[in-house]
Amino acid sequence: MQQSFKTIIVKLLKKIYRFPFILLTNYRIYISDRPALKKKLLDKQADFFIKNNLDRDAGVHLINQTCMNLFNKEYSEDDGMFSEHLVMFSSISISSAFQVNKILEIGTFDGRTAAIFSNLFPNADITTIDLEDDSDMFIETYSRSQNYSDFNHDRDSLLSNFQNVVFKRLNSINLSEWDADSFDLIWIDGAHGYPVIAMDIINSLRLISPGGVIMIDDVFTSNKENNQMYRSIGAYESLVSLKEAKSIDRFDLFLKRTGPKHNIKNSQKFVGFIYL
């Protein structure tokens, strides 16, 4: 009991002292070079889109329209779960280089991403999966236990508006039983740590059709604190291992968000990108 209390105190002290340390070591972000850094980050992101034959500016314009139509507000990377992955989806939807007829989303959450998929890809069949509503992992994560009934009702109500979206309550581990080459675009946004993230990536590689795209949310390339659900280097380590084993030719990472405040040293988030 004494050791447990000591551990708690140490963790609290680390959290208390973490922010001023980050502030001091990354002062350019907050004080002297914010506009220049913002431009640098945006240029880096635009280069990634160009590399993959995508128009980021056109994607931003379309995702703004889509979010306005759906939620009565434009896209913002500061809005909860929204990030550059939506700009990427938007850019893919208007690119002649990609043919997307079937989409799989691993991790439905509140249903907003599935709704965006439905609007961006109105002719595609979209399958979105999440854990059973009564599973402990589902209830205990993302503060759902505080508004369990309202959360499920709002999600189900939103998804019911889109005829090309099918919602399945399913543990993603069971995707190993699904037919290979089933999807053209797969969005992995379930548990971010081991063992689930490694299984989700392996299953997705089998389920993706030739010429398809797999994207993985919240990829950390370094992280001192790892857990099964939120923060982990599991996705990055899995991708590196797959490349080393020549199971994939390459993978890329692009910034999850482009704002300087989201790109503090040692806490940057990326989105994984596999184009087969």
Predicted confidence (pLDDT) at residue 81 exceeds the cutoff of 70: yes
Residue 123 has, within 13 A of its CA and on its CB side, a CA count of 5
Range of the domain at 19: 1-32
Q: Look at residue 9 in the predicted model and tell me its pLDDT.
A: 66
Among 53, 164, 151, which Cα is nearest to 111's? 151
**What does the angle CA 131 – CA 236 – CA 139 come to, to the nearest 5 degrees?**
20
Predicted confidence (pLDDT) at residue 224 exceeds the cutoff of 60: yes
Q: Look at residue 1 in the predicted model and tell me its pLDDT.
A: 42
Q: Look at residue 23 in the predicted model and tell me its pLDDT.
A: 53
Task: Give the number of other Cβ atoms within 10 Å of residue 243's Cβ.
Answer: 14
Mean pLDDT, residues 221-229 taken together = 79
105 in Cβ contact with 99 (< 8 Å): no
Predicted confidence (pLDDT) at residue 49 exceeds the cutoff of 60: yes
User: Which CATH number is 71's domain given?
Assistant: 3.40.50.150
Model pLDDT for residues 248-257, shown as the tens digit of each residue:
999 999 999 9
Question: If 0-12 CB within 10 Å is exposed, 13-18 middle and 19+ buried, where does residue 27 land?
Answer: exposed
Report the distance separating Cα 106 and Cα 175, nearest Å: 10
Same domain, 13 and 59: no
Same domain, 76 and 28: no
Predicted confidence (pLDDT) at residue 13 exceeds the cutoff of 90: no
Q: Which residue has the higher pLDDT, 115 or 136?
A: 115
**What does the angle CA 87 – CA 93 – CA 98 come to, to the nearest 5 degrees?**
115
Q: What is the CA 134 to chain-centroid distance, rounded? A: 24
Report the distance separating Cα 6 and Cα 237, nearest Å: 31
Same domain, 223 and 94: yes
Q: Look at residue 206 in the predicted model and tell me its pLDDT.
A: 97
Model pLDDT for residues 169-186, shown as the tens digit of each residue:
999 999 999 999 999 999
Same domain, 20 and 132: no
Q: Which residue has the higher pLDDT, 168 or 34?
A: 168
Mean pLDDT, the chain, integer: 88
Same domain, 234 and 144: yes
Same domain, 164 and 60: yes
Same domain, 66 and 24: no
Same domain, 87 and 7: no
Q: Look at residue 118 in the predicted model and tell me its pLDDT.
A: 98
Same domain, 59 and 28: no
Predicted confidence (pLDDT) at residue 31 exceeds the cutoff of 60: no
Residue 109 falls in which region: left (phi positive, over 0), alpha (psi -120 to 50) or beta: left
89 in Cβ contact with 128 (< 8 Å): no
What is the three-state SS of the chain? CHHHHHHHHHHHHHHHHHHHHHHHHCHHHHCCCHHHHHHHHHHHHHHHHHHCCCCHHHHHHHHHHHHHHHHCCCCCCCCCCCCHHHHHHHHHHCCCCCCCCEEEEECCCCCHHHHHHHHHCCCCEEEEEECCCCCHHHHHCCCHHHCHHHHHHHHHHHHCCCCCEEEEECCHHHHHHCCCCCEEEEEECCCCCCCHHHHHHHHHHHHEEEEEEEEEEEECCCCCCCCCCCCCCHHHHHHHHHHHCCCCCCCEEEECCCCHHHCCCCCCCEEEEEEC
Predicted confidence (pLDDT) at residue 2 exceeds the cutoff of 50: no
For residue 267, what pLDDT band results from cuts at 50, 70 and 90?
Answer: confident
Give me 167's structure tokens: 């919602």
Number of compact structural domains in the chain: 2
Report the distance separating Cα 107 and Cα 188, nearest Å: 7
Q: Look at residue 132 in the predicted model and tell me its pLDDT.
A: 80
Same domain, 20 and 61: no
Same domain, 12 and 45: no
Q: Look at residue 30 in the predicted model and tell me its pLDDT.
A: 53
Q: How far is CA 256 from CA 197, 271, 272, in A?
A: 17, 5, 9
Q: Look at residue 276 in the predicted model and tell me its pLDDT.
A: 85
Predicted confidence (pLDDT) at residue 89 exceeds the cutoff of 80: yes
Same domain, 23 and 44: no
Q: Look at residue 11 in the predicted model and tell me its pLDDT.
A: 61
Predicted confidence (pLDDT) at residue 24 exceeds the cutoff of 70: no
- Cis peptide bond upstream of 35, omega within 30: no
Q: Which residue has the higher pLDDT, 20 or 216?
A: 216
Percent of the chain having pLDDT more than 90? 70
Mean pLDDT, residues 103-128 taken together = 97
